[in-house]
Structure 1
Amino acid sequence: MEQSRLFKIVYHLLEKGKSTAPELAEKFEVSIRTIYRDLDAISAAGIPIYTTQGKGGGIFIMQDFVLNKSILSEQEKEQILMALQGISITEHNQTDELLMKLGGLFQSKVTNWIEVDFSEWYKNTPNYDVFNLIKNAIFNQYIITFSYFAREGNYSNRTVEPIKLIFKNKDWYLYGFCLLRNDFRFFKLTRIKELKILSDTFKHEVKNIPEIETVIKHNNFIPAKLRFSPKAAFRVYDEFTDNISKDNQGNLYVNIDLPDNETLFSYILSFGDNVEILEPDYLRESMKEKLTLMLEKYIT
């Protein structure tokens, strides 16, 4: 237990940069006296650990220190290499050199066991220029500007503090703080145009960044019941994993929460005539109105 705590203290200091004995004592649930004994043991093991007194002081490890490769187990080394292989699609061939270096450092064979491709079979690959520009802006905390086409059809110029890139439901999104809306927002990468990285920087404390799940929960959703014909079974089983039932004719029934916006109709219409909204009634009526307006465009 003590050896495990020593490693955790080292990892914590490497990650945070600096801490105090009371903070470490609280985090690891031991006394301050025990923490000082642990620090002596860490120092005796050859890890350059220092303490400074007074305001702004604390406990830290020499900035240029790196952990010896022997601390990682063989399984952990393999997990690191496999994780790099899994994300290599976002880096093109830039990851290949890193994989070779780590493979040599770990004295492990890099097995090409997995391939990840986020593009669709019939669609061009993602705009990597936009992806990499945003990635660099995130790492360096640069503010970015771009033109954006929202799902409501409106166009606007946005200035954003980029937080992270997210792959969700077959598409890449930017999650960041929009200075125009004064709130955290999602931006679909394919709708971002005229991207520019500014020289201005930003800084958000981790505790001030809301969890993505929290932001999503703020959206309005409609509980709905849908009936699909047997022809749509392949998509139903692809896209819905729970709450699927089947009748004697092979029709499939799904209960699902759908977003209360235009995305809802676009998604349902993507099934063509192989889907029917059963509940709620007002959603059925809204779909009828949509279909009537669509039909009018084809009346000659």
Structure 2
Amino acid sequence: MKTDRLLEIIIYLLNHEKATAKQLADKFDVSVRTIQRDVDSISLTGVPILAATGLHGGYSIDSDYKIRNQFIGKEDFAWIVMALKSLSTSCENDRLNLILEKYRSLNHVDEPKIFLDYSVTRENQDVLLHNKIIEEAISRLLQIQFDYQNVKGSLSRKTVNPLILRFKWYAWYLFAFDVEKEEYRTYKIARMANLVMTNVPFQSPDNVEERLADSDKNYLWTCESIEVWCREDSIAELEEYFPGEKKERLNDGNYLLHLHVPPQEKLWQALLLSMGRKVRILSPKSYRDRLVRTAAEFLSNHDMLMS
């Protein structure tokens, strides 16, 4: 229906900086002329659609109009405040705090009844300082350099085009283009040292989020499957740290879990070790032997032997 299409065009333009008539026609499977008539109809309703001509032309909605509350209700604002407050518990950012205050002032927004406290994930001051430098470099499209120690302990000097700073797996990471290797990589901020922002500009690719998604898919291919036996009274604890993984209930009431883990990361290994007799790695044998050696080395460092 035309009415549905008009609403979808408005929503699309609200979520995108600009779109040409051809792009909209392709998206909604109509002619360019139909899109032009639709835009005229939308404008008559009071939605300020701007039309720019030329090479970089297209339709857009007035930015001042986007921040008004015609499409966002009071309850929606409360959820936005909740998200901002939750984010502020793990991220120090002056702009974030300013935005939070702005949203709190809109229409006397009620404080949210749900609050997510991520303060336990807040990293040290070095990471927070690095984040600020990286944020500025991303904003100004300037290359950065840093010393980086990978998970195997190898140290190297990196020059990268910073693209996306994100929080994942309880830590901050940078998705960037490695200038020397000419490939997109993800770097853990906590493993950086001697970080500096250079005066060398770079051009950000248009499809950064697509490249990030591809990188995540490639990372998943590096994960390996392990089988873990888990005691019946401890399955909830293991599922808390490995949500959504396949599990089988055994005849004796205990469980068999099939976990996908990054082989070089140590956090999941430490978690299994911390559960003691509650879990046991069944396969592959190399993982089981590795954890046994780690436990033996820990005990020997305390003048103890495994029985």
Report the TM-score when normalising by structure 1. 0.78
Unaligned 5+ segments in structure 1 are none
State the AA in 1 paired with 2:65. Answer: V
Q: Per the alignment, do residues 218 and 255 of structure 1 end up closer, same or farther by CA in structure 2, a change over 3 Å counting?
A: closer
1:87 CA displacement? 1.7
Q: For each residue in 1:176-203, what CA deviation from the matched residue of structure 2 results, as whole angstroms up to 9, or x when unmatched?
A: 2222333222222211111112222331
State the AA in 2 paired with 1:104. Answer: S
Q: Indicate conservation of the 8 Å contact 2:229/2:254, yes or no.
A: yes
2:203 is the counterpart of 1:202: yes
Task: Give 1:136-285 correspondences, 5 Å limit.
Answer: 136-199=136-199, 200-206=201-207, 209-211=211-213, 212-221=215-224, 223-228=225-230, 235-241=237-243, 242=245, 243=247, 245=249, 248=252, 253-261=256-264, 263=266, 266-267=269-270, 270-271=273-274, 273-274=276-277, 275-285=279-289
Q: Indicate conservation of the 8 Å contact 2:223/2:260, yes or no.
A: no
1:153 CA displacement? 0.9
2:79 is the counterpart of 1:79: yes
Partners of 1:21 and 1:114 lie apart in 2 by 42
Task: State percent identity of aligned pairs.
Answer: 24
**RMSD over equivalenced CA pairs, Å:** 3.7
- Once structures 1 and 2 are overlaid, which stretch shifts more, 263-272 or 2-11? 263-272
Q: Indicate conservation of the 8 Å contact 1:119/1:125, yes or no.
A: no
1:152 CA displacement? 0.4
Q: Per the alignment, do residues 74 and 295 of structure 1 end up closer, same or farther by CA in structure 2, a change over 3 Å counting?
A: closer
Q: Per the alignment, do residues 96 and 287 of structure 1 end up closer, same or farther by CA in structure 2, a change over 3 Å counting?
A: closer
Partners of 2:134 and 2:231 lie apart in 1 by 42
Specify the alignment match of 2:128 in structure 1.
Answer: 128
Name the SS for the 1:69 alignment partner.
coil
State the AA in 2 paired with 1:133. Answer: I
Partners of 1:181 and 1:24 lie apart in 2 by 38
Q: For each residue in 1:105-156, what CA deviation from the matched residue of structure 2 results, as whole angstroms up to 9, or x when unmatched?
A: 33422346414224259x8577321222222323333321111111101111
Partners of 1:191 and 1:61 lie apart in 2 by 42
Name the SS for the 2:218 alignment partner.
helix
Specify the alignment match of 2:29 in structure 1.
Answer: 29
Specify the alignment match of 1:59 in structure 2.
Answer: 58
Name the SS for the 2:196 alignment partner.
strand
Q: Per the alignment, do residues 247 and 163 of structure 1 end up closer, same or farther by CA in structure 2, a change over 3 Å counting?
A: farther
Q: Per the alignment, do residues 78 and 278 of structure 1 end up closer, same or farther by CA in structure 2, a change over 3 Å counting?
A: same
Q: Per the alignment, do residues 247 and 134 of structure 1 end up closer, same or farther by CA in structure 2, a change over 3 Å counting?
A: farther
Name the SS for the 1:66 alignment partner.
helix
Q: Indicate conservation of the 8 Å contact 2:273/2:291, yes or no.
A: no
Partners of 1:180 and 1:244 lie apart in 2 by 46
Partners of 1:63 and 1:185 lie apart in 2 by 36
Q: For each residue in 1:76-106, what CA deviation from the matched residue of structure 2 results, as whole angstroms up to 9, or x when unmatched?
A: 3333222222222324565444333223333
1:206 CA displacement? 0.9
